[in-house]
Amino acid sequence: MSTFDNNSDDRKCQKLIAQLPRNSWHERSYAYWADKQLHASGIWWRPLSTAVLGTAAAAMSVFLKVGFRKVVTEDLHKLTDVLEDDARNQPVITVANHQSTVDDPVIWGVMPARMRWNPDYSRWTLGARELLYMNPLMNGFFALGQTIPTVRGDGIYQLAVEIGLQKLRDNKWVHVFPEARVNQESELLRFKWGVSRMIMESERIPIVIPMYLSGMSKVLPLRQRVP
């Protein structure tokens, strides 16, 4: 039987954060927000995070209504019922194929309006650092938007996966695109091992909900910059 030491895991994250370079304003900002993301605490964190997440979800809802010819969702209640279950004592992991760079946040525009302004009903997700965390302003925006910066090629023991595990210990919802890059072909790519590690090392057995996206490759083809 596996045993878990939350203090040890927290120290591991803090050690990785302490090792981050701080030679420039951008690097100091990145390290600051990585530390704040770890526990997502402080009297200012929740209202600011709520504002970012709620505004983004509301905007994506409008985008889906006016910018798409047709939007079809199936069995969304299987996710919302789990998230809204007050008796739930397990984390939630959703996994999906990755058809475009705007899959997240666009797909979350389908979430019910009652859930948009509550960070507890919003996903934590792993996103490519080189695409999202490009300057201090974007660092703060995506950190508050519950997007954990992932460094491609750093493996499954990098800071992003450790923070993801911390969120699972807190019974949060973590969303992962396990293909780890946009794939607009019909066949799925081999899943990266990071999601496997999070499932295997979660303190409590997570509820895993698979998702499949279709049509997002037409919204933003790889060689196109805007939808």
pLDDT along the chain (227 residues), means of 10: 67 95 97 95 94 98 94 97 97 97 96 96 97 97 98 95 97 97 94 96 97 92 76
pLDDT reported for residue 3: 53
The span from the CA of 60 to the CA of 55, in Å, is: 9
Contact predicate 74/29, CB 8 Å: no
How high is the pLDDT of residue 4?
60
Q: Which residues contact 123 (CB under 8 A, 6 or more apart)?
A: 94, 104, 108, 146, 173, 174, 175
Residue 204 is classified by DSSP as S
The confidence score (pLDDT) of residue 105 equals 96
CB 148 within 8 A of CB 37: yes
Q: How many CB atoms neighbour CB 110 within 10 A?
A: 16
DSSP-assigned letter for residue 192: P
Structure confidence at residue 1 (pLDDT): 41
Quote the pLDDT of residue 5: 66
Please write the tens of the pLDDT for every residue from 91-120.
Answer: 999 999 999 999 999 999 999 999 999 999
pLDDT recorded at residue 226: 73
Cβ-based neighbour number of residue 160 at 10 Å: 22
8 Å CB contact between 124 and 176: no
Residues 169, 6 contacting (CB under 8 angstroms): yes
